[in-house]
Amino acid sequence: MKEISENEFPEIEGTKVTHRYIDTGGINIHIAEAGEGEPLLMLHGWPQHWYMWKKQIPLFAKHFQVIAADIKGFGWSDAPEKGYTKDELADELVILIKTLGYNEIRLMSHDWGGWIGFIAAAKNPGLIKQHFATNIAPIWPKLDLKLIPATIKLSYMIPVSMPYFGPKILAKGNYQRWLFKRGNTRKEGWTEEEMNVFADRFRDISRAEASSKLYRDFILKEYLPLGLGKYRKYHLKTPSYILFGIEDRQVSTAFLRGYEHYSDDIKIELVEKAGHFIVDEQPDLVNERAMNFFKIA
C-alpha cells in the first residue's frame, strides 16, 4: 500500500478531508474522504481530478460519507500502461466500490466520470442508487445527421490522442489551460493557481500518456461501436439527473438524445450561460440541483 503524505494534496476549506489509496487488484486508486453516513462517490472528468469537487465536498460531507476518487491515470492514482477503454474504467469503478465494502452508492459525476458511471450503472443494476451528472451524455446516442457536427466538436480530442505528441502536449499543460478558458463561460475567470492544480499533474509523463491512451482508445476502439448501438443491450434502472451547460465547446447537446428507450428515469436540465466546466462555473447551482435530486432537506 502506498504511503500518504497529506501535505502533497491541495486543501479544501470548510471540512476535514483525509486521503488514502485503495488497491483494486494491483492498481492503487487515490480517494479523498470527508463526512459520514451513506456513501456518495464523486467522480471527476478530464483534465481534472478529485479536487474539482472542492465546492461540493464541504456541503455534502454534512449528509454523506463523501468519497472523491481519482480515476486510474488521473490525479494521484496509479497510471499503468493499459486499461483505458471506458468499459475497463467502469469495471475499475465497480471494483473500487466493492473493495470499499459497499453494495450500493450514490454517484455525483462530471464528463468522463459520468460516462463511466452510466456504463457501470447499466451493466450492474442496483449498484448505483442515484446518479447526478454534469455535462456528459447518456451512452445511447441517436444516430442521425446531427451527429456529424457533434463529432466535429470532439476534434479537441485529436491532439491529445496522438502517440508521442499527445503526451508531450499534455505534459506542458498549456492545452489544458486553453480548454479551461475556452468560451469564457466562467465570469470571474480562472486563476493560474486553479488551472495549475490540475495541469501540473500531467508533468508526470505516465499520466500524460494515460490521458492520451484514454482518448486514443475512444476514437479508435469505442466511438464507432457506440454509434452502432454498443450499449443498447443494457437498460438503465438508476434514476439519473444531467445538468448540462449548453455553451459546452466540447460535448454537443446533440448527444442528449436517443436514451429514452434504454432508461427508466433520466432527467436533463439545460443551463444557459454555462459551459463544459459547469461545476467550477456555477457551483451553487450544481449544489442546489444535486441536493434536491438526492432529496436532502
| pTM to 2 decimal places | 0.96
Closest CA to 257 of 141, 145, 151: 141
**What is the total residue count of the chain?**
297
Q: What is the mean pLDDT of residues 237-243?
A: 98
Would you state the pLDDT for residue 85?
98
C-alpha cell at position 159 = 491532439
Q: So what's the pLDDT on residue 273? A: 92
Q: Is the pLDDT of residue 5 over 70?
A: no
Q: Given pLDDT bands bounded at 50, 70 and 90, which one contains residue 187? A: confident
Residue 276: pLDDT band with limits 50, 70, 90: very high
What is the spatial distance between Cα 270 and Cα 192, in angstroms, rounded to a whole number? 29
Q: Is 171's pLDDT higher than 90?
A: yes
Domains of the chain are: 14-293 (3.40.50.1820)
Give the pLDDT confidence score for residue 120 in this predicted structure.
98
Asked whether the beta carbons of 229 and 139 are under 8 A apart, the reply is no
pLDDT tens digits along 33-43: 999 999 999 99
d(CA 224, CA 227): 5
Mean pLDDT confidence for 195-212: 97
Predicted pLDDT at 3: 59
Amino acid, single-letter form, for residue 179: L
pLDDT at position 94 over 70: yes
Whether 129 and 105 have beta carbons less than 8 Å apart is answered as yes
Omega cis (within 30) before 141: no
HEC states along the chain?
CCCCCHHHCCCCCCCCCEEEEEECCCCEEEEEEEECCCEEEEECCCCCCHHHHCCCHHHHCCCCEEEEECCCCCCCCCCCCCCCCHHHHHHHHHHHHHHCCCCCEEEEEECHHHHHHHHHHHHCCCCEEEEEEECCCCCCCCCCCCHHHHHHHHHHHHHHHCCCHHHHHHHHCHHHHHHHHCCCCCCCCCCHHHHHHHHHHHHCHHHHHHHHHHHHHHHHHHHHHHHCCCCCCCCECCCEEEEEECCCCCCCHHHCCCCHHHECCEEEEEECCCCCCHHHHCHHHHHHHHHHHCCCC
- Mean pLDDT, the chain, integer: 95
Do 175 and 160 contact (CB within 8 A), yes or no? yes
- Cell triple for residue 45? 472528468
Under the banding of pLDDT at 50, 70 and 90, the label for residue 14 is confident
Report whether 237 contacts 231 (CB < 8 A).
Answer: no
Residues whose CB falls within 8 Å of the CB of residue 218, separated by 6 or more in sequence, listed in order: 85, 86, 157, 161
Q: What is the largest CA-CA distance in the chain?
A: 51
Rounded-to-10 torsion of CA 73, 75, 77, 78: 40
Output b/e per residue, 135-151; b: 16+ Cβ within 10 A: bbbbbbbeeeeebeebe
Q: What is the pLDDT of residues 105-156, one digit of tens each?
A: 999 999 999 999 999 999 999 999 999 999 999 999 999 999 999 999 999 9
Please report, rounded to a whole number, the percentage of residues in the chain having pLDDT higher than 70.
97
What does the alpha-carbon distance between residue 76 and residue 110 come to, in Å, rounded to a whole number? 18
For the segment 227-254, the average pLDDT, to the nearest whole number, is 96
